[in-house]
Structure 1
Amino acid sequence: MANGRKGGGREEPNFDVPEGRIGGRGDLNLRLSGDDRAGGGVGKRTTSSNGQGDAPRRAPSRVKAPARKARRRSFFGGLVYGTLVLGLWGVIAIAGLVAYHASQLPPIDQLAVPKRPPNIAILASDGSLLANRGETGGRVVGITELPPYLPRAFVAIEDRRFYSHFGVDPVGIARAIGQNITRRGVSQGGSTLTQQLAKNLFLTPERSASRKIQEAILALWLEHRYTKDEILELYLNRVYFGAGAYGVEAAAQRYFGKPAKAVTLAEAAMLGGLVQAPSRLAPNRNLPAAQARAAQVLAAMEELGFAKPADVKLALATPARPASSRGGGSASYVADLVMDVLDDFLPKFDTDIVVTTTVDTRLQGAAEKALVDELNQKGVRYNVAQGAVVSMKPDGAIRALIGGRDYAQSQFNRATTAKRQPGSSFKPFVYLAAVERGLTPDTVRDDAPISIKGWNPENYSRDYRGPVTLREALALSLNTVAVRLGQEVGPKAVVQAAQRLGISSPLQANGSLALGTSEVTPLEMVGAYAAFANGGTGVIPYVIANVKGASGKVLYQRKDTNLGRVMSVETDSMMNAMMHETFVSGTARKAEVPGWDLAGKTGTSQDFRDAWFIGYSSTLVTGVWLGNDDGESTKKVSGGNLPGEIWKAYMTVALKGQTPSMLPGSNHWRNRGPADVPATTGTTPGGLIGALLGETQSAAPPPRVAANQRARGPGQGPSQDDRNFLEKLFGVGE
């Protein structure tokens, strides 16, 4: 203590370093070594030989080595940490995207599968399918109605993990990405069947990331709401197959002409492959590509055990082919007419319906064949490109309707919509008005030049025959007589007569109306002629017999509806007698069907733009029109040549197997002589034609014709030589 405190006083701090220490006295070193830092010497300090615990200073290289190892550990730790953070933010971002796009959809509790647009199945009178109409093109089918290999074809090629995934297939997506990168194999796409269904049901066709997210969301909802088989059934009834066909039923009918339940394995494979690219793979447009794709489907089905190897081998050996359209698709003209008038009978419906028509498939095919064959053989030579055929029963039930040469090329229905000048086929309405004023088939009028305010109508033959009966004037289609009759009864009376029989197109009440200058449709004309065939009752042409719901409930049943009596029995008898003469000695004689009592009229419009033939038996009324859509003149196509040939070809088939019967009241006026012709004019056209036909003894026929008659025997009608003689003698024409 002697050296400590003196006198009990406080000793002041002294920072002097004793001599001999580092820096010497007064020299203070405040620098810190690595060991002086916090933790710097932990585990590193050693005891010296003098026991004082002072550690010798390390070389710089040994001090830095642990720092590099620590930094390496920090790098890998940071990488893992950063990855976790980025992954977490990625999950949050994806969740946000999903939440955002889910918010653009209707609330889940309000989400429902949209109702499928109703299908209209249009059947022929025998129950066979003519066409499907509506947005889908076919009815809904249950999966249990289908052969097992049909739905399996779609699973095999479109979504082989369908029964194991939850609506979105990560494995399938990865496979699709790999195939797209390597460009190997046939891509099955990344979308599952459930996703495709979601797209078809709820979304637009656009391709975007946004839509794919919504598609996945909706797929998950569908998988939660429906069973796998229910999803597959919905898919099969909604997927698009091209050509306006939605669903397997529509596609099977469209491409193979049969219901989906009847398709073969090869056809099922073709349908399964078609949905990838309906336009490119449609079998009726690109059969080789469709068959190649079907082979890939069959291979996938065999690989997955969906089809037996033997069955696949057979299907590959006999690949599917599309069915040829019956009549080149002419039934579509009938279907179009059905859709035009359906609203009149069934304004509203929200489920599938079945419409049974009056159309006979045999007659429909015969009518189209007759028209198409004639145009194919003679269309170029006569410069005529189009035509229409309408055939109906005398009560107005349409049995065949052809609206054009080829529906695939032109959907314009010339039978129901095209308004053309009927020419001389309009003359029966003129004669009807005249008969109703008291004239008869044997009334005589002059075939002589006539002028009406500077208009000078001429006959087809450009010559005149003098006094002729109405029967002969109509049979030979003499224009001057028709115009005279029109002036005699008045154009308004002619208009009224035509309208009473069912002509609804506007008619111009003028002098030229008698020659058919006002435009009408083939359907109108045939419907009006039906009154002559049925005894005088006006008809309303109809094509729909009944309409039923999918369950079979009758929604509409046609009742007997007509326009009532539009002419007396006596008047109808006289009209049938006059129009029968056109088949015997007039412009329609080349169209005669042996054994049948027929009547009708030919017609040719100005400059040969339109050619008509409308004729009937007691059981069928048929009209044929030929012309060009742009109104270009034909090369002298008249009602008596090409249209008459088509009419005869069709009616020969249509009347086959029926028992011939007489037209209403025709016998009463058929064999009368020319009562109004003076007896001194026994060689007038009336007397001569009557003698040639064996219908009157008022005049003797020329010696050559008389010899022919004796050779044939009585009651057999004129020979072809006699008819040729008549044509030369009278210039039969229009």
Structure 2
Amino acid sequence: MSKRGASLQNKGQRGARRAAAEREARVHNGPRGPGKPPSRFGGWLRRALVWGAGIGGVGLVSLLIAVVLAANSLPGYSELQAIQTAQTIVVRARDGTEIVEIGPSYGEWLRFEEIPDSMKNAMVAVEDKRFYSHFGIDFYRTAAAVIQSFTKGERIGATSSITQQLARNIFLNSNRNLDRKAREALLALALEWKFSKEQILELYLNKVYFGGGAYGIDSASRKFFSHPATELSIGEAAIIAGLVKAPSRYSPTADVQAAVDRATVVLRLMQEQGYISADQAQVDISAVQLKQQSGQNSVRYFTDWVLPQLDLFLPETAEPIEVWTTLDIGMQRAATAAIESNTPGAAQGALVSMDRDGAVLALVGGRDYVASNYNRATSAQRQPGSAWKLFVYLAALEAGYVPEDTVVDEPVTINGWSPRNANGRNVGETTLRAAFAFSINTVAAQLGNEVGFGTVAAMARRFGITSQVNTLPSMVLGTSEVRLIDMTRAFAAVSAKGRSVEPYGISKVTTTSGELLYRHATPTQSQLVPDYVIAGITDLLQAAVQTGTGSAAQIGRPVAGKTGTTSSNKDGWFVGFSSGITTGVWMGRDDAKAVPGLQGGRAPAQAFAAYMRYAVKDRPVEEFDVTLNLPDWLAEPDEEALFGDPDEYYYIDENGNLVEPGRRQPGQGPLLPDGERTPLPIPPYNEGRPPRAPPAASDEFLQQATGGPTPP
């Protein structure tokens, strides 16, 4: 090659290298042009992306390994079919009699192809619409719930897929914590890895809980519709699918309208997701024929109250157990009969009865458990009316009143509020005992105003009222809503001589082999008020039954109690005690409409008496101790002690001057035979007085100590 050709070739190579360098510079320098250093932020961003991708990759590989390991450790399909996670519980009365056995009810196992399409589609539509497309976790649904929680400040709602629910039902508990949710998610991914969608849905529909002890769609179908699940209609399938979210709330045997409303939501979702047509979605759910169930003993109200308490003191276990309760079978029957026979019209009735130690002997939460399992004895909050005056008079007695004190029944206005008596009249002067016995509203208002409405509220809290208490003047007439079991507890504390009472219903829990898992320990009791206050309030409560508004509660032995009636006869109460047993009765409508003729002194007091005649028949008659042993500061002093004798001890005269022992008061002469003294002219202030005692410190010392001259 010639020199000229070689030179051209070298120049071409140098040009190529220069062009490559310029391209590289443009890549590094970007729009800043050549010669400028690369951005520090860009470098950090690139490194963060690289590290993030690396960590994400490692995490993904680790998750994949964990899922594979979990899937390999899962039982086989036939083993999962055989797993039963529900617990059998035998509930016994206080004498050991078995009163109910609560446990799982399983129907026939239905294979995937045997389950009606309407049932499968309804469940997927309402519980997990992306079931057939996700891998066990609906990440879209979860992310949307998290975003909504952050933007609207709401708690993250239920986001578990069908597979996650299955994992929880078979392997885990229902605790809402991060550890359980993480394990649930891992198991869901493992289930999806190991089993097909059809197998997972088959397991789910045969194992999910539908309430009332029914596990699986076949058991639920037989319980609610009296036929196997293979015959389910679209409307029936919608009702069953709607139960999963809240079996007790949407149960058609507890609240038909709630079940219908929920099923309507299921049908709408099925239509939106294309499982049924608009015509099929117009099913008249209310026309679905439910299985007619025979009446159940009201003992279920009691078991509904006590069994959830097992979670508080028992370790998590699926082992069969026996729960020994405080329930008395005979008293429960008497309580049920008393409510059924005395509750008027369309009203509901409830009763709670407890022993002096807080043991609940009988509990009725309504007239018919099958028609409504809502527990009005432990859950409903209603205004107690004049039964609330227990706390007003407790506060007045603690402040120094006694039953014989004179009070005035007269018109009164407090902060613009003017209470009226039930009969519209005022009787003028009367005793505290009579005012309580005849439930005079104006006197209660005056007492509450005098001791302080906050003091009355605090007294109610002291005696076990747990619901919200207002401090408006009208609160003295029972405008704050309370629970029947709390009011009964308060009266039980009075029966227990002022000591605190904690209601309880479980005495012990054992395994079926007899191993003791739990025994009730008597809590430390505190004295709520002094003995003289209890004696006074017992006097008043006894008078209310003997001569006042509660006379219908008399049973032929001492009874102390109080009636309560709210405005327009919406609520009627009677709460009282005798021979160590305290019983509270409430009657009214669930919709709080007026019940004609309902008054605390009539139907509730009559139901109380009907029950208590049986409850105390084997107990000795107990007279109430109403003797007032007042403390010194409340004892009425005699005239001598009040004014004193100057020859015996110090006292203050009417001018506020200290009179020493043996000294005459200014202006008094010698003591005459009739006990009087000769009046004398009152001398000037210092005349005739002894010289002042020398000061404890000299003026010089005080001047040095205070840094200035002493005052004259």
TM-score, length-scaled by structure 1: 0.51
Take 1:521 and 1:644, find their aligned partners in 2: how far apart are those partners? Answer: 18
Partner of 1:529: 491
**Residues 452-502 of structure 1: per-residue CA shift (max 9 Å, x gap):** 122110111110111111111110000001111000100111111111111
Contact 1:441 1:574 in 2 (8 A): yes
Trace 1:247-262 onto structure 2 (pairs within 5 A).
none
In structure 1, the residue corresponding to 2:595 is in which secondary structure? coil
Q: Distance in 2 between matches of 1:566 and 1:408?
A: 40
Partners of 1:389 and 1:625 within 8 A in 2 = yes
Task: Note the C-alpha offset of 1:119.
Answer: 2.0
Q: Secondary structure of the equivalent of 1:666?
A: coil
1:269-313, Cα deviation, whole Å (9 max, x unpaired): xx9x99999999xxxx9xxxxxxxxxxxxxxxxxxxxxxxxxxxx
Deviation at 1:132, TM superposition (A): 3.5
Residue 473 of structure 1 aligns to a residue in which SS? helix
* 2:321 paired with 1:353: yes
| Native 8 Å contact 2:335 2:364 kept in 1 | yes
- Find the counterpart in structure 2 of residue 520 from structure 1: 482
Residue 666 of structure 1 is matched in structure 2 by 626
Distance 1:355 1:484, change over 3 A: same
CA gap of 1:110–1:364, structure 2 versus 1, over 3 A, is closer
1:425 maps to 2:387:
yes
CA contact (8 A) 2:85 2:170 kept: no
Aligned amino acid, residue 468 of structure 2: P
Alpha-carbon shift at residue 109 of structure 1 (Å): 10
For residues 208-258 of structure 1, give each alpha carbon's deviation from its aligned partner in whole angstroms, at most 9, with x where no partner exists. xx999979x99xxxxxxxxxxxxxxxx9xx9999963579xx99xx9xxxx
- 1:477 is paired with a residue whose SS is coil
User: Matches of 2:460 and 2:198 in 1, distance apart?
Assistant: 66
- 1:401-420, Cα deviation, whole Å (9 max, x unpaired): 10011110111100001000
For the residues of structure 1 that align with 2:497 and 2:372, how far apart are their CA atoms?
37
> Counterpart in 2 of 1:625?
586
SS of 1:565's partner is coil
- Contact 1:610/1:627 (CA < 8 Å) preserved in 2? yes
Q: Is 2:343 aligned against 1:343?
A: no
**Partner letter of residue 467 of structure 1?**
E
SS for the counterpart of 1:498 is helix
SS in 2 for 1:539: coil
Name the CA distance, whole Å, in 2 between partners of 1:454 and 1:524. Answer: 31
* Identity of matched residues, %: 39
Against the structure 1 CA distance between its residues 514 and 562, is the aligned structure 2 distance closer, same or farther, given a 3 Å change threshold?
farther
User: Counterparts of 1:451 and 1:572 in 2: how far apart (Å)?
Assistant: 30
* Larger-Rg structure: 1
Deviation at 1:345, TM superposition (A): 1.9
* Secondary structure of the corresponding residue to residue 354 of structure 1: strand
Write out aligned runs for 1:172-183 (5 A).
none
Paired residue secondary structure (2:408): strand
The 3 A distance-change label for structure 1 pair 137 and 651 is: farther
Q: In structure 2, how many angstroms separate the alpha carbons of the residues matched to 1:441 and 1:448?
A: 19
Matches of 1:212 and 1:512, distance apart in 2: 62
**Cα 1:213–1:634 shift into 2, 3 Å:** closer
> Residue 605 in 1 paired to residue 566 in 2?
yes
In the other structure, the counterpart of 1:124 is: 93
Q: Which amino acid aligns with 1:344?
A: L
Whole-Å separation in 1 of the counterparts to 2:437 and 2:353: 22
Please list the CA deviations of residues 521-557 of structure 1 after superposition, one character each: whole Å capped at 9, or x if unmatched.
0000000110111111011111111111232211110
| Alignment correspondent of 1:634 | 595
Contact 1:130 1:332 (8 Å CA) reproduced: no
- Please state whether the residue corresponding to 1:388 is helix, strand or coil: strand
Match status 1:499 vs 2:461: yes
**Aligned match of 1:34:** none
Map Cα deviations across residues 21-46 of structure 1 (whole Å, 9 max, x no partner): xxxxxxxxxxxxxxxxxxxxxxxxxx
User: Aligned in 2, Cα 1:502/1:214: closer, same or farther, shift over 3 Å?
Assistant: closer
1:356 and 1:546 in contact (8 A); partners too: yes
Alignment pair present for 1:592 and 2:554: yes
Asked if residue 489 in structure 1 is aligned to residue 451 in structure 2, the reply is yes
**Does the aligned pair in 2 maintain the 1:329–1:408 contact within 8 Å?**
no
Q: Choose the corresponding residue for 2:299, options 323, 331, 335.
A: 331
Q: Secondary structure at the match of 2:561?
A: strand
2:705 match? none
Contact 2:576/2:583 (8 A) holds in 1: yes
Q: Which residue of 1 aligns with 2:20?
A: none
Which residue of 76, 83, 92 maps to 1:114?
83
Task: State the AA in 1 paired with 2:617.
Answer: K
Q: What per-residue deviation string (whole Å, max 9, x for no partner) do you get for residues 323-371 of structure 1?
A: 975xx43111111101332222225223122211111111111101111
Residue aligned with 2:475, SS: helix
- Partner SS, residue 517 of structure 2: strand
C-alpha separation between the residues in 1 aligned to 2:406 and 2:198? 87
- Hey, what does 1:190 align to over in structure 2? none
Does the CA contact (< 8 Å) of 2:102 and 2:213 recur in 1?
Answer: no
SS in 2 for 1:564: coil
**What CA distance in whole angstroms lies between the structure 1 residues aligned with 2:575 and 2:448?**
21
Decide whether the 8 Å contact of 1:537 with 1:562 is kept in 2: no
For 2:314 and 2:74, locate their aligned partners in 1 and report how far apart those are by CA, in whole Å. Answer: 33
2:348 aligned residue: 386
C-alpha distance 114-641 of structure 1, shift in aligned 2 (>3 A): same
Equivalent residue, structure 1, for 2:645: none
Residue equivalent to 1:188: none
Displacement of 1:123 in angstroms is: 1.7
**1:531 touches 1:539 (CA, 8 Å); kept in 2?**
yes
In structure 2, distance between residues paired with 1:108 and 1:387: 52
Matched residue of 2:526: which SS?
Answer: strand
How far 1:661 moved relative to its partner? 1.2
**1:421 aligned partner, one-letter code:** Q
Instruction: Tell me how large the CA RMSD over aligned residues is.
Output: 4.0
Letter in 1 for 2:362: A
Aligned to 1:72: none
Q: Does 1:459 align with 2:427?
A: no
**Contact 2:579 2:620 (C-alpha < 8 Å) held by counterparts:** no
CA pair 584-575 structure 1, distance change in 2 beyond 3 A: same
Tell me the distance in 2 between the aligned counterparts of 1:656 and 1:442: 33
Residue equivalent to 2:616: 655
CA contact under 8 A between 2:417 and 2:473: conserved in structure 1? no
Task: Provide the C-alpha distance between the structure 2 equivalents of 1:498 and 1:601, rounded to a whole number of angstroms.
Answer: 15
Using structure 2 for the length normalisation, give the TM-score: 0.53
CA distance in 2, matches of 1:242, 1:574: 50
| Partner of residue 221, structure 1 | none
Q: SS state of the match for residue 500, structure 2? A: strand
Partner Cα separation in structure 2 for residue 419 and residue 239 of structure 1 = 33
Report the CA distance shift for 1:336/1:241 in structure 2 as closer, same or farther (over 3 A): closer
Amino acid aligned to 1:626: M
Alpha-carbon offset, residue 606 of structure 1 = 1.5
Structure 1 distance, partners of 2:564, 2:519, is: 37
* Conserved? CA contact 1:388–1:624, under 8 Å: yes
Amino acid at match of 2:463: L
CA contact (8 A) 1:121 1:131 kept: yes
C-alpha displacement of 1:658: 2.2
1:131 maps to amino acid:
V
SS of the equivalent of 1:597 reads coil
Is the counterpart of residue 573 in structure 1 residue 565 in structure 2?
no
Q: Which runs of 5+ in 1 are unaligned?
A: 1-102, 139-153, 160-167, 169-199, 203-209, 219-234, 255-270, 286-321, 670-674, 677-734
2:522 matches 1:553: no
Shift of 1:655: 1.5
* Number of equivalenced pairs: 415
Unpaired runs of at least 5, structure 2: 1-70, 112-168, 172-194, 237-252, 254-291, 630-634, 637-712
Residue 121 of structure 1, CA deviation: 2.2
Answer with 548-557 or 122-131: which moved more.
Answer: 122-131
Equivalent position amino acid for 2:316 in 1: K
AA in 2 matched with 1:666: V
On the 8 A contact 2:579/2:616 being kept in 1, the answer is no
1:242-391 map, 5 Å: 244=213, 328-346=296-314, 348-375=316-343, 379-380=344-345, 384-391=346-353
2:365 corresponds to which residue?
Answer: 403
Matches of 1:341 and 1:213 in 2, distance apart? 38
